[in-house]
Amino acid sequence: EADIYQTPRYLVIGTGKKITLECSQTMGHDKMYWYQQDPGMELHLIHYSYGVNSTEKGDLSSESTVSRIRTEHFPLTLESARPSHTSQYLCASSEFQGLYFGPGTRLTVT
Amino acid sequence: RKEVEQDPGPFNVPEGATVAFNCTYSNSASQSFFWYRQDCRKEPKLLMSVYSSGNEDGRFTAQLNRASQYISLLIRDSKLSDSATYLCVVNTLDSNYQLIWGAGTKLIIKP
């Protein structure tokens, strides 16, 4: 079983608020990822990192930022939440092949 | 055309039947291939990697056809617990080793 954690699991927040979604893994994996997924839809890559101090933008990154100061920690920040950000956010990590996902954060912006 | 395409289904299959579905990919430079399983409102979980020679894990068999650029997943003796969405994932050298995800095929096993 993969050891990757996300908090909070559920978040309801008002428009314009700044939020940070936490992700941590205890497997020592260098690569970490953030995906966004709406119900029944495909995964979209938001950001990824190949190691400490490495971050890259994915397809949907323009409204969020990430940091990778420690190997085990990869937080995602939305500077100003909007209703269009309502979705599930999935964090993942990998070493060689295959991704291990956290349980996700279900975000609702009102 | 999407880089990775899957029939969205749903595939409604009686328990005990054999079911197979394919996933096509457009980039011939693709290097690695995977099948993931995702239950409703849960995170995806790695089901199996797909090797060039094909591979089997219990009731599940994955195959790769590089010439026709598709991978397949076969499930034998299907169980109710196999009901899920199956996601095809391709790792392509051209996209800086990023994983390209299919939208998934929904499988419903009926008693």
Mind listing the pLDDT tens digit for each residue in A82-105? 999 999 999 999 887 778 999 999
The per-residue DSSP string of B8-76 comes to ---EEEETT--EEEEEEES-TTEEEEEEEEE-TTS--EEEEEE-TT-EEETTEEEEEETTTTEEEEEE-
Strand partners, A64: A78
Joined tokens for residue A62: 């323009």
Residues 85-104, chain A: which have Cβ within 8 Å of B? 88, 90, 97-104
- Kindly state the greatest CA–CA separation across chain B: 44
Task: Using DSSP bridges, classify how beta strands A31-37 and A87-94 pair: parallel, antiparallel or unpaired.
Answer: antiparallel
Which SS3 state, helix, strand or coil, does residue B42 take? coil
Question: B43–A103: do the CB atoms touch at under 8 Å?
Answer: yes
Instruction: Give the model's pLDDT for residue B98.
Output: 73
Identify the three-state secondary structure at position B93: helix
What gap in Å lies between CA A22 and CA B89, rounded to an integer?
Answer: 25
The phi, psi pair for A24, rounded to 5°, reads -145, 150
**Separation in Å, CA of A23 to nearest CA in chain B:** 14
In one letter, which amino acid is B94? D
Q: What is the pLDDT of residue B93?
A: 65
- For residue A35, what are the contacts with CB-CB under 8 A and spacing of at least 6? A43, A44, A45, A46, A89, A90, A91, A92
CA distance A110 to A107: 10
- Residue B86 in contact with partner chain A when CB distance is under 8 A: no
CB-CB contact of A23 with A3 (8 Å): no
User: CB–CB of A99 and B32 under 8 A?
Assistant: no
pLDDT tens track for A27-79: 999 999 999 999 888 899 999 999 999 999 988 766 899 999 999 999 999 99
Q: How close B85 gets to chain A, by Cα (Å)? A: 9
Question: Which amino acid appears at position A98 of this protein?
Answer: G
Residue A3: partners with Cβ closer than 8 Å, 6 or more residues away = A25, A26, A27
Residue B38: closest C-alpha in chain A: A40
Report the mean per-residue pLDDT for chain B: 91
pLDDT at B53: 87
Residues of A in contact with B102 (CB under 8 A): 42
* Distance, CA of B25 to CA of B5 (rounded, Å): 6
Which helix (H) or strand (E) segment holds residue B71: the answer is: strand B70-75
Q: Quick one: DSSP state of residue A73?
A: B
